[in-house]
Amino acid sequence: MLDIKIIRNQPDLVRENLKKKFQEEKLPLVDEVLDLDIKYRAALTDAENLKSQRNALSKEIGMLMGQGKKEEAEEIKKKVKEDADRLAALDEEAKTLAEELQARMMTIPNIIDDTVPIGRDDSENVEVERFGEPLVPSYEIPYHMDIVEALNGARMDSARQTSGNGFWFLQGDIARLHSAVMSYARDFMIDRGFTYCIPPYMVRSRVVDGVMSFAERDNMMYKVEGEDLYLIGTSEHSMIGQFIDSIVPNEELPLTLTSSSPCFRKEVGAHGIEERGLYRVHQFEKQEMIVISEPEDSMEWFHKMADLTVEFFRTLDIPVRKLECCSGDLADLKVKSLDVEAWSPRQEKYFEVGSCSNLGDAQARRLSIRTKGDGGTYYPHILNNTVVAPPRMLISFLENHYQEDGSILIPEALRPYMGNKDRITKPEK
């Protein structure tokens, strides 16, 4: 959520930002916010004036009663009663205006960084840099589910019976590989100074509304029926939510946290959810990193975090690239975002395996997360980034380490988590 001062003082900047994000339909919101803000502040001013007048009249009543001027005091009491009724009406008016103002403010997107490329959708995202050689072997690489099934590593039909499309059973060495990747990701982040956390897997609606836009919530989140709880779509939700309505001393910044959790997503309108595969599913696990930083340090942390994901994948010998998200592909709360994409030798293209985002102070404002230093109280910046999210990551892992005999090589960094095995082979019948 934007600072109202930006809309008051720089409305043209907000309008231009809406155009850059190709959200021209929201342009009327700027004038609506300005009009509501004037009315809201006027109601507050009138209420404050009435309160001051009421206090003065109350003192006058006391003086008159002390002087035995009861009739004059009673006349003033009538005025106080009229003012009390007017004050109640003003308070109700201010409350209504504040709610209307808040609702519109929550739908106006954050101001994107000047370095964000302008584009309508993800087809106009811009490649930044590649890491590792994207090789295609001389032999054919099967579809990832054919690899998994040949290794007796999944039971997708059973998952459809128990839970429906978009769910999976992993088993054997593939399940072990999944757990190994998560354990390695945990230690990878701990070794780089991040504090490891296991968060709640459900959060209240106020947290949900604080960490994402309404459109994201409706498309992603599973609501727990009959309770004010949602299943998390990423551990970022509860990890940031833990600081709601709090002041973090600035000497504690930056807070560098990494968390592991299952994630649950509806993926409304997602392509391929009916297909046989692990790319887009309703339930998966993820290792996340979250940083709460001083505003002036957030861009430096943004690039550090993206580099950590690249480093993680390169230690597993998987070629990746960074892709700069264009303006139209940025969610409303984001200031800047980079996707990390892994190489698919079977498809001979890259696909997304993680996303790094700087949200500025938008989430902090929504959740009333503040920091305090010598200059007073202000909002910190909040960032999040995917370290790794199997099972999607397993697709790139299996394809990049698939051998002509059908086995899967295990990179050296992962072997301690796989019982020191150097490869996964077809199970003996």
- Residues sharing a CB contact under 8 Å with residue 419, sequence separation 6 or more, in sequence order: 176
> Is residue 95 predicted with pLDDT exceeding 80?
yes
265 three-class SS: coil
Say if CB 416 and CB 320 are below 8 A apart: no
**Residue of 303, 310, 322 lying closest to 125 (CA atoms):** 322
For residue 427, the Cα-to-chain-centroid distance in whole angstroms is: 40
pLDDT digits (tens, 9 = 90+) for 344-386: 999 999 999 999 999 999 999 999 999 998 889 999 999 999 9
Say if CB 46 and CB 90 are below 8 A apart: yes
**Residue of 38, 39, 54 lying closest to 87 (CA atoms):** 54
Task: Tell me the range of 314-323, 367-376, 384-393 where mean pLDDT is highest.
Answer: 314-323
In this predicted model, which residue has the larger pLDDT, 14 or 76? 14
Least confident of 74-78, 202-206, 234-238, 374-378: 74-78
Average of pLDDT values for 261-285? 72
CATH of 4-105, one of 1.10.599.10, 1.10.3210.10, 1.10.287.40, 3.40.50.620: 1.10.287.40
In this predicted model, which residue has the larger pLDDT, 283 or 65? 283
Average of pLDDT values for 320-340? 96
Domain with CATH 1.10.287.40 in the chain: 4-105
Under the banding of pLDDT at 50, 70 and 90, the label for residue 133 is very high
Pairing of strands 320-324, 336-344: antiparallel
Q: Token pair of 131, please?
A: 């890491």
Say if CB 241 and CB 250 are below 8 A apart: no
Q: How far apart are CA 95 and CA 74, in angstroms?
A: 32
> What's the maximum distance between 2 C-alpha atoms anywhere in the chain?
107
Answer positive or negative: Cα dihedral of 239, 242, 245, 250. Answer: negative
Domain with CATH 3.30.930.10 in the chain: 122-424
Give CA angle at 203 (292, 2), nearest 5°.
50
Q: Over the range 73-85, which residues count as b (16 or more CB within 10 Å of their CB) and which as e?
A: beebeeebeebee
Per-residue pLDDT, 271: 47
Least confident of 78-87, 125-134, 380-389: 78-87
pLDDT digits (tens, 9 = 90+) for 137-180: 999 999 999 999 999 998 888 888 898 888 888 999 999 999 99
Per-residue pLDDT, 314: 98
pLDDT digits (tens, 9 = 90+) for 213-231: 777 787 889 999 999 999 9
| Residue 155 parent element (H or E) | none
Q: How far apart are CA 388 and CA 228, in angstroms?
A: 29
**Burial of residue 54, with CB atoms counted within 10 A of its CB: 0-12 exposed, 13-18 middle, 19 or more buried:** middle
Q: How far apart are CA 194 and CA 308, in angstroms?
A: 11
Say if CB 358 and CB 115 are below 8 A apart: no
Per-residue pLDDT, 61: 63
Say if CB 144 and CB 398 are below 8 A apart: yes
In this predicted model, which residue has the larger pLDDT, 275 or 46? 46
> Is residue 57 predicted with pLDDT exceeding 70?
no
> Is residue 423 predicted with pLDDT exceeding 90?
yes
Mark residue 376 as left, alpha or beta (left: phi above 0; alpha: psi -120 to 50; beta: remaining): left
For residue 336, the Cα-to-chain-centroid distance in whole angstroms is: 12
Say if CB 26 and CB 107 are below 8 A apart: yes
**Residue of 243, 185, 201 lying closest to 389 (CA atoms):** 185
The percentage of residues in the chain with a pLDDT greater than 70, rounded to a whole number, is: 91
- Average pLDDT score, the chain: 91
Sheet holding 255-264, edge to edge: 126-131, 320-324, 336-344, 349-358, 381-388, 283-293, 255-264, 195-197
> Is residue 58 predicted with pLDDT exceeding 70?
no
Per-residue pLDDT, 73: 63
CATH of 122-424, one of 3.40.630.10, 3.30.930.10, 1.10.443.10, 3.40.50.2000: 3.30.930.10
Least confident of 126-135, 153-162, 261-270, 382-391: 261-270
Per-residue pLDDT, 322: 98
